[in-house]
């Protein structure tokens, strides 16, 4: 029986500009002065559970209009910087050399790059010219879990290979000052920028990835996604997301685990993407947890906001760090994230 892929190292990175939520609210009041929805929607900011976020551009950048071309140029340059920083941290923490990387999986849904970000990273870091590449677009918030599974699948069938998994999302660039819609205000209240990554191999020490799966609900294509406008991406959010989690996620997760001979009771840690305060609360109910039990999800949401696919990796990093610092023993963790489709991604980490 072949050895399962393991997480050799984990790392995260954020851009340099810190956004305080109170200051964001003051900015929004100025930019959306005259909007008929503003007073009604401002509580979204105060009830978001977010105190700070990070942006690849200073807050003043959002004061003027920006076209799609400018936004995407900013995305490519900033995303590449964050991916390089994340990769260097991973190599340092794992004690690996850049030339040991055999393949790269990069997940991102907040911009477009051709050549893709993985090719740009190979050129910048002078990685081996034989490195295989897999860029993934369109998974949205589910990309952290599903993308990690794609990287793990390659590591599982190629014993000894070192696979670099990276995810970068610059969600804040989607803010559009001339869009007074509820979805744009909600996105403005929630989104932040960040990157994360992991090194995986069947050879080495670290939590093993022992199961993974997905579920896509029928008739839900309009629940979450992007619409393309002349000045960039426009967010689509359905108000039904927390209710869908409340009523259906438990059974879907239980079915996934059962296919791998597991039950929810076999899970010691839940590593969930914190899409927003209502989403985290719904996740706790779905998994039969007490209120505020998803400590790491709440704290990442508070400190970084919703960074789409990258966020669940921040939660995983914080969970592993807390368990190590407190000497806590855990056997299995369930990673979960929801994204466009409308889809759920699941992944089981085994620490035995």
Q: Give 131-166 pLDDT, tens digit per residue.
A: 999 999 999 999 999 999 999 999 999 999 999 999
- What's the pLDDT band for 180 if we cut at 50, 70, 90? low
Write out pLDDT tens, residues 88-118. 999 999 999 999 999 999 999 999 999 999 9
With b meaning 16 or more CB within 10 Å and e meaning fewer, what string describes 71-88? bbebbbebbbbbbbbbbe
d(CA 162, CA 137): 22
Residues 69 and 192 in one domain: yes
Given a cut of 80, whether residue 183 has pLDDT beyond it is no
Domain stops at, among 201, 232, 260 = 201
pTM of the complete model: 0.93
Write out pLDDT tens, residues 24-44. 888 888 777 767 777 777 888
Per the annotation, the verdict on 171 as an active-site residue is no
DSSP letter at 127 equals: -
Structural domain contains residue 138: yes
Q: What percent of the chain has pLDDT over 70?
A: 98
Q: How many domains does the chain have?
A: 2
φ, ψ for residue 211, nearest 5 deg: -160, 150
Strand ranges (E), 202-319 = 208-216, 224-229, 232-237, 269-272
Instruction: Give the per-residue pLDDT at 233.
Output: 75
Catalytic residue among 56, 141, 171, 272, which? Answer: 141
DSSP letter at 10 equals: E
Instruction: Give the per-residue pLDDT at 179.
Output: 67
Given a cut of 60, whether residue 1 has pLDDT beyond it is no
**Domain span at 148:** 6-201
Mean pLDDT computed over 72-87: 97
Write out pLDDT tens, residues 247-263. 999 999 999 999 999 99
Residue 228, domain CATH: 3.40.47.10
Residues 79 and 109 in one domain: yes
């Amino acid at each position: 029986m072949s050895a399962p892929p393991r997480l050799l190292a984990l790392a995260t990175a954020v851009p340099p500009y810190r956004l305080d939520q109170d200051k964001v609210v003051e900015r929004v009041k100025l930019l959306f002065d005259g909007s008929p929805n503003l007073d009604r929607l401002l509580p979204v900011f105060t009830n978001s559970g977010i105190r700070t976020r990070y942006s690849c551009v200073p807050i003043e950048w959002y004061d003027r209009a920006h076209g799609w071309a400018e936004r995407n140029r900013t995305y490519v340059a900033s995303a590449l910087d964050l991916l390089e920083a994340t990769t260097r941290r991973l190599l340092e923490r794992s004690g690996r050399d850049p030339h040991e990387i055999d393949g790269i999986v990069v997940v991102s849904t907040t911009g477009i790059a051709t050549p893709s970000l993985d090719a740009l990273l190979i050129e910048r870091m002078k990685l081996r010219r034989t490195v295989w590449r897999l860029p993934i677009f369109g998974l949205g918030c589910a990309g952290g879990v599903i993308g990690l599974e794609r990287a793990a699948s390659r590591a599982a069938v190629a014993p000894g290979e070192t696979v670099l998994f990276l995810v970068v999302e610059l969600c804040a660039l989607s803010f559009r000052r001339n869009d007074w819609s509820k979805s744009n205000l909600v996105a403005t209240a929630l989104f932040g920028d960040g990157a994360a990554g992991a090194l995986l191999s069947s050879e080495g020490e670290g939590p093993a990835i022992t199961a993974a799966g997905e579920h896509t609900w029928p008739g839900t294509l309009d629940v979450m996604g992007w619409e393309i406008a002349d000045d960039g991406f426009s967010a689509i959010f359905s108000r039904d997301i927390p209710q869908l989690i409340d009523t259906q996620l438990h059974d879907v997760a239980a079915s996934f685990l059962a296919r791998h001979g597991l039950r929810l009771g076999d899970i010691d840690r839940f590593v969930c993407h914190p899409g927003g305060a209502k989403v985290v609360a719904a996740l706790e109910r779905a998994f039969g947890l007490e209120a505020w039990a998803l400590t790491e999800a709440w704290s990442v949401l508070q400190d970084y906001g919703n960074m789409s696919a990258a966020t669940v990796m921040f939660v995983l990093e914080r969970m592993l760090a807390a368990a190590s610092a407190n000497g806590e023993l855990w056997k299995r963790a369930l990673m979960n994230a929801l994204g466009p489709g409308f889809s759920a991604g699941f992944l089981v980490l085994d620490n035995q």
